[in-house]
Amino acid sequence: VTRLVLQGIGLFAFIPIVLWLYLGRPLGPGLSAVLGLAVMFGHRFAASPWMARHALARCLWCAREAPLPERLEIRAGGRTWILAACGAEHGARSGRFLTLVWRARAAVGAGIFVPLVLLLAGSFAEAAGRPFIPHAANATIFRMVVALTVAGASVAYLAVREAERPLRCPFPLHNLFLLGIGRTLWVFRIVGAWWLASGASAAARRIAEGA
């Protein structure tokens, strides 16, 4: 395990921390949501420069460090990034995944941001004393929709035969760079399966209670 791997994991860890603030609400509905938003928007100021510093030091797909013969030119966040891959295979996989996300950007964006806005709106409304949705139901909707979106994208890219140039990333690219896209997709699949299973069992319980 190298220093870059540990730093990448450390920076990635802010994502589950934000989710814990939004879903677990350890500081109550209002303060947890505010803190989660602050961490979410502040994260890029650490993660994006870190990607810039190490852009050519690790494979975008597997996060291996050297040798990195492939170069990937990616448009993201209003600039062009030059990242690297350990070979043609991982360069192609990175390109195919980014192509899928770009083509499906409206669906992927809606699948993440609509449930996120609903989750935060529910927490803020509750904090203001005007709840409109129970948090447990809201959290289940969030987990199910986000899980379907990210786990879906993690397998749907396999249907993309070839990357479309220029490569573009409509979402924060550094979030994919921290662990490497390959491992990030495994996080999506494993957490996605867990969230779908727990959401389905919560829904089944609710139906059983209602019956």
Footprint on this chain of Zn ion (rule: CB under 5 A):
59, 61-62, 86, 90
Q: Which is nearer to Zn ion, 27 or 73 (CB)?
A: 73
Q: How far is the CB of 189 from Zn ion (least distance, A)?
A: 18
CA pair distance 17, 24, nearest whole angstrom: 10
Q: Which is nearer to Zn ion, 59 or 145 (CB)?
A: 59
Strands 167-169 and 79-85: unpaired
Q: Which is nearer to Zn ion, 71 or 79 (CB)?
A: 71
- Cβ 5 vs Cβ 62: under 8 Å: no
CA pair distance 76, 174, nearest whole angstrom: 10
Q: How far is the CB of 97 from Zn ion (least distance, A)?
A: 13
CA pair distance 128, 203, nearest whole angstrom: 27
Nearest to 117 by CA among 97, 74, 146, 84: 146
Q: How far is the CB of 135 from Zn ion (least distance, A)?
A: 41
Q: How far is the CB of 56 from Zn ion (least distance, A)?
A: 13
Q: Which is nearer to Zn ion, 50 or 61 (CB)?
A: 61
The 8-class DSSP code of residue 130 comes to -
